[in-house]
């Protein structure tokens, strides 16, 4: 094990080595594997809507039109959220999976759709893929964990999946999971993890011989209400303390990390966040605030 420096040392490394603006761990540039299924379902929705509109224009009996609303309800499902109609449902303060089971609501929104939007038969592949691309951020939930595990593996850490391996292997990492639940982690490692949110789990447990590190990883590209909450959670983790050789790591990457760690003025909110981070680092020398390069250097010294 190399000589571990104090936490402010790795914080300065993080400050001086900003995040890349393009990180492959968070890129989803391949076409969706189910793209053709989304296109097919989008066309089916369009065809039924066109039929309903045509029948309404011909003053067809309600019983006949209702049969097509039932058909519309039936085909709305897993691959429907990329159709223009599903997007319009969102614009009407509803979600497609619930509207499908409320025929009267489905009818009302359909009428609005006919009045407010252009309806045609085509469903270009690039349109559907573009909507799937806008939803790609939902896939990023575990990317930070996987990125850190990748870095750890390069330094000889092994990802393990049960407690026997965890206690047997000197250098390893595990994800919080059913087997590594908050309750089990507290009992097995004799720690508190006393966050304000009582049942909050973290992301990773890193073991380096007799040293245990509990890590929370977040990836943020913009600021805002939801992001502020996540930064507050990371800062709170810096304030946690445990007995023995237990440390906490707050890991943040993405463009917001560069803003937060820079010396530029970005308003009172960010200045307050910076001050809180430095305060907790000074008060809790066993805890760390790291970005990608800071984490890499820290793990190198830890090994």
Full strand arrangement of the beta sheet holding 288-290: 158-159, 171-175, 204-208, 211-219, 246-253, 288-290
Q: What is the CA radius of gyration of the chain?
A: 25
β pairing state of 211-219 and 171-175: unpaired
What confidence score (pLDDT) does residue 196 get? 81
pLDDT in tens, 149-193: 999 999 999 999 999 999 999 999 999 999 999 999 999 999 999
Q: Does the pLDDT of residue 91 top 80, yes or no?
A: yes
Global pTM reads 0.83
pLDDT in tens, 104-116: 999 999 999 999 9
pLDDT in tens, 210-261: 999 999 999 998 766 668 889 999 999 999 999 878 999 999 999 999 999 9
What rounded mean pLDDT belongs to the chain?
A: 93
């Amino acid at each position: 094990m190399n000589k571990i420096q104090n936490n402010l040392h790795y914080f300065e490394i993080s400050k001086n080595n900003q995040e890349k603006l393009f990180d492959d761990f968070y890129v989803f540039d391949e076409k969706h594997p189910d793209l053709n299924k989304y296109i097919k379902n989008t066309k089916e929705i369009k065809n039924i809507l066109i039929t309903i509109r045509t029948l309404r224009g011909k003053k067809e009996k309600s019983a006949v039109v209702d049969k097509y609303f039932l058909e519309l309800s039936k085909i709305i499902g897993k691959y429907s959220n990329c159709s223009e109609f599903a997007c319009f449902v969102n614009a009407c303060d509803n979600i497609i999976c619930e509207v499908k089971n409320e025929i009267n609501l489905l009818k009302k929104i359909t009428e609005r759709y006919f009045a407010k939007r252009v309806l045609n038969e085509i469903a270009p592949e690039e349109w559907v893929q573009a909507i799937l691309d806008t939803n790609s951020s939902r896939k990023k939930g575990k990317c930070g964990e996987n990125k850190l595990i990748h870095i750890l593996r390069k330094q000889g850490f092994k990802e393990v999946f049960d407690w026997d391996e965890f206690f047997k292997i000197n250098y390893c990492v595990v994800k919080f999971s059913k087997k590594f639940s908050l309750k089990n982690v507290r009992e097995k490692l004799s720690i508190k993890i006393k966050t304000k949110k009582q049942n909050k789990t973290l992301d990773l447990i890193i073991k380096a011989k007799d040293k245990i590190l509990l890590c929370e990883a977040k990836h943020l590209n913009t600021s805002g209400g939801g992001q502020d909450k996540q930064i507050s959670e990371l800062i709170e983790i810096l304030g946690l303390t445990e007995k023995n050789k237990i440390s906490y790591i707050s890991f943040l990457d993405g463009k917001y990390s560069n803003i937060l760690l820079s010396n530029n003025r970005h308003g009172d909110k960010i200045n307050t966040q910076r001050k809180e981070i430095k305060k907790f680092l000074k008060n809790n020398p066993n805890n760390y605030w790291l970005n990608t390069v800071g984490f890499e250097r820290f793990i190198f010294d830890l090994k």
